[in-house]
Structure 1
Amino acid sequence: MQQARPNPCALAERGRRARRRPGTALANAVKLRSKHYIIIASGDALPAGMAAQTKQANGTVTSLLGEAGLAMATSDDPNFATKAAKIPGVRTVINDCLFQAFDARQERTAALPASHQTGVANPTGNPFLPFQWGLTAIQAPAAWRTGAQGADVVVADLDTGFDLTHPDLQPNIISSASFVMLPGQDQDAQYRGLGSSHGTHTAGTIAAADNSIGVIGVAPKAKLMLLKVLGDAGEGSFSWVINGIIYAADHNADVINMSLVASLPRNGKYLDEQGNTINNTKATQELLVALSKATSYATKRGVTIIASAGNEGNDGNKDQSWVRIPADATGVISISATGPMGWAKSPNTCDLDRFASYSNYGTPAVSFAAPGGDYAYSNFTEVTTMAGFYGYTWAMDMVLSTDINGGYTWLAGTSMAAPHASGVAALIIGKNGGHMDPAQVEAILRASADDLGKPGRDPYYGYGRINAYKAVTQGQKGAVAGM
């Protein structure tokens, strides 16, 4: 099939966007919500009668997560936090916050027509597998040949809305829900935004079905629980994320994938809802406590939690100005990104494990690395033919996955790396008979990862770049020996 040649004007705009690190301008975009609060228990559970006691403090409970030791509340009383903090058994009351996990309008994207025919034979029959260099990097096809495909494992993907009718996702979707409370956004998980769908993309990387259509996911037989915790433009609230985590844990998820990051300032300088700078020295600590209560609740119920490390190119060893949520929360496995440069020109020799130009790094900020793609190829006007597709060389260094309207798009980020790792976690759990302790899953990931960079744990690759084949073959033996 003859492919349309790239549009030079569109190329110039995409090139300008690609030179910017995603998320750089978003680090300060955390706003405390004046009338929305998170109530944090001093113990593992909330005290009895929380709703009634909150009402006495002039507040209304909107979400009661008793066993996690958390509640959400609203109040018009400016002194509500002080009053509610005096309730026996309450540690503190903190303002909820809004954050911009990413700006969906500024995502670097390139589309692959769903109708494209590669003319390249591949063992799965899924036509776009030749473009999925990330699966090659982690040896996913070899893992599938052992019989490990994530059957019956439930992965909860917490993200923006999703294309719930996408033919590559629909066979594996078992449920969906939305926790987003934004004016004008319908209260379901369907994506209705502009541009590409971040959530649809991450879901496809995890578990696009093996159905001879389009792409294939790392765990093509895993089941998807699609939970909308971000608005379609990438904006989120801590309360939405917390509710999504608890929901996933209470509805038998085995893995949670969170391709999202909020950067909380350690110096306590936040914004209010009008954009004015305010000082709240305890907000960062207490918001981390709140998220950690939610993640601890989930891990105690057997959920392996994986999150992206962030895209600011930040060296966490030197610059400790920020707390990355949820990556820094208790029990969360944090993933940095790798990506080739010029892969389409030399697919058989290109280094697939090159550390991505934008990825955050540091010890202990990074647990593992996984394919996230890159857009740093210097020649933004160069085009290459790959598997019959005539397109930009830089675009094909990114990760190809599902998108809205049954389409397919290349994106790059640690957001794309995390679902590769979540898919491997699903393969591990499925291979070992189902529900597993998260500590055991992480031990297998460690035992099977390819140790890149400096020997042992290093700031870039953590314990190594994940390897699906080793994880479902030698990983179990190594993990048991090392525990």
Structure 2
Amino acid sequence: MRFKISDFKVLDVRRSQKREVIDYGVEMVGAPLEWSETTGKGIKVGVIDTGIDVNHEDLRGRIKEYVNFTSSDRQNVLDDNGHGTHVAGIIAAERNNVGVIGVAPEADLYIAKAFDKDGSADFEAIRNSLVWMAERNVDVINMSFSSQTTSREYQKIISDLYASGITLVCAAGNEGASEGDNGDTIGYPARFDETIAVTAVDINKKRADFSSVGAEAEIAAAGKDIYSCYLDNGYATLSGTSMATPVITGAVALLQAKGLRRYKRRLTPEEIRLVLHIYSEDLGEAGRDTEYGFGLFSFGRFNRTDYVYDNAALRTRGSLRTDMILNAIIAGILLL
């Protein structure tokens, strides 16, 4: 079983970025609204990708551990593709007066290089990366890759990670819409029930034409023309659901930091997903749909209710545990 990172487009590359900027994707998710309370400090974020530029000015202070499963040299996580560095920057680029700022600029990064310079990986590298993340007790794992193949072993690993309390955020894929296969082009691991499938929108909150669609679509985020860290201490603008996924991963890190700060515990994957669903702007068809899922998540919507909220309450009425969570949110206790 072979894997490829989803096709992405490199639109612009810069050798440096002297004036610190906040990309529109970080603004769209409302991350700056949360930074007065938390920037994700102490939250462990796993990234399975093409490696990372360990010397990048915006990332070197955020990298806590790393490993390479593409060769025998386990400590060489040199990113010779660019994808992994860009993804990491969206999640946790530091506030340091240069470059860019990530969604959770004080989150800790745990990097597993599973993809080579061509963006290709085998299942062994993916499996080893997931096990390595579990051993380090990460809070959330970013998987900005997609394939149309799966296996029982793959499913079991994902299921075990979810049961252990790790939130799994995955790219829906860049296959666009299709007339065949019931119009469903979302790949694995985003198709698994345990994962959060992220689709991409542009600056106008419209589905990016490359973004895969399907019943598994869960949350949308900015994924077109996203500016972040790149190779050789540089910066670049890329497009893909690979770029939307780390926006949500960073948001999860902020939610977990809020949980620790206010309740001295981490939120469960189920709680994380419930909050993401409720506080998403309903786009496209009313309710959950195949293009945007529950909609575009933003911290800026925490004081609003909408169709997604009402229907989440109806769907979960039979669950006492979920009702308690909903009641806490209604009372303004959990996150406001």
Partner Cα distance (2:70, 2:188) in 1: 18
Partner Cα distance (2:16, 2:303) in 1: 32
Indicate the residue corresponding to 1:111 in structure 2: 13
Answering whether residue 55 of structure 2 is matched by residue 197 of structure 1, we say no
Alignment of 1:28-47 (within 5 A): none
Partner Cα distance (1:436, 1:316) in 2: 39
Counterpart AA for 1:450: E
> How much has 1:472 moved relative to structure 2?
10
SS at match of 2:10: coil
Which of residues 167, 170, 173 in structure 1 aligns to 2:63? 173
Compute the TM-score of the two structures, normalised by the length of structure 2.
0.85
Partner Cα distance (2:300, 2:179) in 1: 30
Indicate the residue corresponding to 1:354 in structure 2: 206
SS at match of 1:327: coil
Answering whether residue 295 of structure 2 is matched by residue 467 of structure 1, we say no
Deviations 1:145-167 (A, max 9, x none): 3x131111100011001101111
TM-aligned CA distance change 1:115 to 1:148, over 3 Å: closer
Deviations 1:112-170 (A, max 9, x none): 341554xxxxxxxxx122xx11122111111223x131111100011001101111111
Deviations 1:11-58 (A, max 9, x none): xxxxxxxxxxxxxxxxxxxxxxxxxxxxxxxxxxxxxxxxxxxxxxxx
Alignment of 1:386-401 (within 5 A): 398-401=225-228
Partner Cα distance (1:425, 1:471) in 2: 14
Answering whether residue 191 of structure 2 is matched by residue 328 of structure 1, we say yes
Greater C-alpha radius of gyration: 1
> How much has 1:321 moved relative to structure 2?
7.9
Q: CA RMSD in A?
A: 2.5
> How much has 1:296 moved relative to structure 2?
1.2
Indicate the residue corresponding to 2:334 in structure 1: none
Indicate the residue corresponding to 1:309 in structure 2: 172
Counterpart AA for 2:102: G
Q: Judge conservation of contact 2:29–2:299 (CA < 8 Å) in 1.
A: yes
Indicate the residue corresponding to 2:131 in structure 1: 246
Deviations 1:197-251 (A, max 9, x none): 1000000101111121210010111110011111122001112112111211121
Partner Cα distance (2:165, 2:290) in 1: 28
Answering whether residue 335 of structure 2 is matched by residue 450 of structure 1, we say no
Counterpart AA for 2:123: F
Aligned residues: 308
Indicate the residue corresponding to 2:241 in structure 1: 414
Compute the TM-score of the two structures, normalised by the length of structure 1.
0.60
Structure 2 unaligned regions, length at least 5? 314-321, 329-336
Q: Judge conservation of contact 1:111–1:410 (CA < 8 Å) in 2.
A: yes
> How much has 1:309 moved relative to structure 2?
0.2
Which of residues 103, 109, 124 in structure 2 aligns to 1:224? 109
Indicate the residue corresponding to 1:212 in structure 2: 97
> How much has 1:339 moved relative to structure 2?
1.0
Deviations 1:438-460 (A, max 9, x none): 11111111111111112210111
Partner Cα distance (2:303, 2:117) in 1: 35
Structure 1 unaligned regions, length at least 5? 1-96, 118-126, 265-286, 341-350, 374-397
Partner Cα distance (1:239, 1:173) in 2: 24
Partner Cα distance (1:200, 1:244) in 2: 17
Q: Judge conservation of contact 1:262–1:325 (CA < 8 Å) in 2.
A: yes
SS at match of 1:324: coil
Counterpart AA for 1:310: G
State percent identity of aligned pairs: 30
SS at match of 2:156: helix
Q: Judge conservation of contact 2:184–2:212 (CA < 8 Å) in 1.
A: no
SS at match of 2:157: helix
Counterpart AA for 1:108: V
Indicate the residue corresponding to 1:300 in structure 2: 163
